[in-house]
Amino acid sequence: MSKEDQIYNLIKSEIKEHGYNSANFKLALLKEGELWKVIMTKIILDISKPIEPVTLLKENNFALENISISIEEFNKFLDYLKTVYVGNIKFEGASVNITEEMLYKIGNYKLCFVGNFPSGELYYTSRQDAELHLGIDKPIYHADYAIHDSVTTKAYHKLELIGHKIPLRNVAEALNHYWGTHYEHYNMYTGSMIYLPIFDASIKHCKVKDNQLKLYLNIDTKLVGLDQLSIGMIVQSRNQTFRNSYKITSDAFELKLDLIPDDIQFYLIKNTKKIDAYYWQSPEKQKRISATIADISRERPTTVKLPPRKGGVSTTITEENKEQEVNLFEKNLIEKLPDHLQSLLNEAQLAFNAKLYRATCVLLRSVLEEAITLIVKQTGNEKELYNDKNFEMGLQKKIERLIALVPTYSQMRKDLEGIKWFGDKATHEAIMPIYKRDIVNNLEPPFRLFLAKLIEFRVKVE
């Protein structure tokens, strides 16, 4: 079975299992000439019937639309995606010549979705993370659909919406305001995402005081019986690990532990299938991580020592060039890392000093991937780095596996994806400039936090 057939079958299987009745298309569109092009599409399946379309914003050839279609129509849309699979399309050079047959009518728009599913898998995101990063208050399964670059629009980068009744500086702010998302303008991507929410039950939040915990649940008893649900948990203190599962008897679960927890991973199970997960971390552990960050940031140097120059020219750093010689990461931080990460970070520093900012982004992306690989291996889950054909997964999938295996990184998802984004753009888009401020403002702060968490994690497992 091909990767394309595999993902279609998975999506249709989930539709049948969960009884979805509609698909809500959240469309961000830009008109170029006579053709509306997709900036981003979020397709969220729902158990309710289709609702009336809503135009959220439409000006300057830019539109934000919510259009709901029946599940029968959505199945036709999936069949349409097969016909515009990028492998079946003839290109003119590197571009697609869009014809009428390549367009699909959604509401009053005819849109082109030539592309493919990069993966044959559905990925899971807990309600806790979906609400934080995607603006969806349900646990979800999701599939990314990559629309080919030549049929999407890049002109949205130049679009200003300050004149809108709610002043918005750019498209990212418009999406965040109307969709409840958390995009950054510098790392938005064009494409389409299909979300399959789980409506049966989810974990709302958790309260822990000393060794007493209380977990609050959302349960739709019309969709699932209490006898089908259970809670699994992994509780960790600095020296102990406790694991157990319990049946659910109401929408609140209480338990007295025999230890004071540092962190707890909860799993909500329907029969034998995980339908939600929730991560709790103690304030004390958060303080330890903050202390680690403060320790490695203390007395941070602002200059680096330059090698002697030819001809005996002085290497003294003057006030004029002092700002240019900022250390990205100080020596006492780098020395706490494995040798291969030290080497990559030192190379990134050399590239940064030489004003090779594109190379700096590529090297930092390499550090990120190597560090995530190390963490996953140290959890004893090296097999999670490979797909079913035994090929090593790409960085995006590694980030997802990291968050699933070590939930303390879940709040950094956007930051990690931002680091990856800069590395990808530095590698593949030569026309996109990368400036020093991009690295200092957007990469260095989250990277420092990531490295601090890495050090704390390595100390713990060793």
For 179, the token pair is 């969709």
From the list 266, 219, 263, the residue with the least C-alpha distance to 246 is: 266
Size of the chain in residues: 462
Q: What is the distance between the alpha carbons of residues 37 and 192, in angstroms, rounded to a whole number?
A: 12
Average pLDDT over residues 8-36: 92
411 versus 42: the higher-pLDDT residue is 42
From the list 28, 35, 41, the residue with the least C-alpha distance to 74 is: 41
Going by pLDDT thresholds of 50, 70 and 90, the confidence category of residue 321 is very low
Going by pLDDT thresholds of 50, 70 and 90, the confidence category of residue 108 is very high
**Percent with pLDDT over 70 in the chain:** 87
pLDDT value at residue 290: 64
pLDDT value at residue 304: 44
Looking only at the bridges linking them, the beta strands covering 229-236 and 191-197 are unpaired
Q: Assess whether pLDDT exceeds 70 at residue 308.
A: no
The reported pTM is 0.69
Average pLDDT over residues 391-420: 84
Going by pLDDT thresholds of 50, 70 and 90, the confidence category of residue 225 is very high
Average pLDDT over residues 276-293: 77
pLDDT value at residue 195: 94
Domain boundaries, the chain: 3-197, 201-281, 285-461
Average pLDDT over residues 294-308: 49
Three-state SS sequence of the chain: CCHHHHHHHHHHHHHHHHCCCEEEEEEEEEEECCEEEEEEEEEEEECCCCCCCEEEEEECCEEEEEEEEEHHHHHHHHHHHHHCEHHHCCEECCEECCCHHHEEEECCEEEECCEECCCCCCEEECHHHHHHHHCCCCCEEEEEEEECHHHCCCHHHHCCECCCCCCECCHHHHHHHHHCCCCCHHHCCCEEEEEEECCCEEEEEEEEECCEEEEEEEECCCCCCHHHEEEEEEEECCCCEEEEEEECCCCEEEEECCCCCCEEEEEEEECCEEEEEEEEECHHHHHHHHHHHHHHHCCCCCCCCCCCCHHHCCCCCCHHHHHHHCCCCCHHHHCCCCHHHHHHHHHHHHHHHCCCHHHHHHHHHHHHHHHHHHHHHHCCCHHHHECCCCCECCHHHHHHHHHHHCHHHHHHHHHHHHHHHHHHHHHHCCCCCCCHHHHHHHHHHHHHHHHHHHHHHHHHHC
**Paired residues of 123 in beta bridges:** 142
Under 8 Å CB-to-CB from 434, ≥6 apart: which residues?
Answer: 357, 358, 361, 422, 425, 426
Q: What is the distance between the alpha carbons of residues 447 and 361, in angstroms, rounded to a whole number?
A: 11
For 125, the token pair is 């995101």
Is the CB of residue 63 less than 8 Å from the CB of residue 171? Answer: no
Nearest 5°: phi and psi at 304? Answer: -120, 150
pLDDT value at residue 34: 87
CA separation (Å) from 403 to 53, 201, 382, 425?
35, 21, 14, 23
Is the CB of residue 198 less than 8 Å from the CB of residue 139? Answer: yes
Rg (CA), the chain: 24
Under 8 Å CB-to-CB from 427, ≥6 apart: which residues?
Answer: 362, 365
- Residue 313's CB is within 10 A of a number of other CB atoms, namely 8
Q: Assess whether pLDDT exceeds 50 at residue 113.
A: yes
pLDDT value at residue 318: 42
438 versus 55: the higher-pLDDT residue is 55
CA separation (Å) from 317 to 141, 308, 325, 332, 432?
54, 12, 8, 22, 31
Going by pLDDT thresholds of 50, 70 and 90, the confidence category of residue 66 is very high
**What topology is assigned to 201-281 in CATH?**
Immunoglobulin-like (2.60.40)
CA separation (Å) from 453 to 331, 399, 414, 415, 440?
17, 14, 16, 13, 19
Average pLDDT over residues 192-200: 93
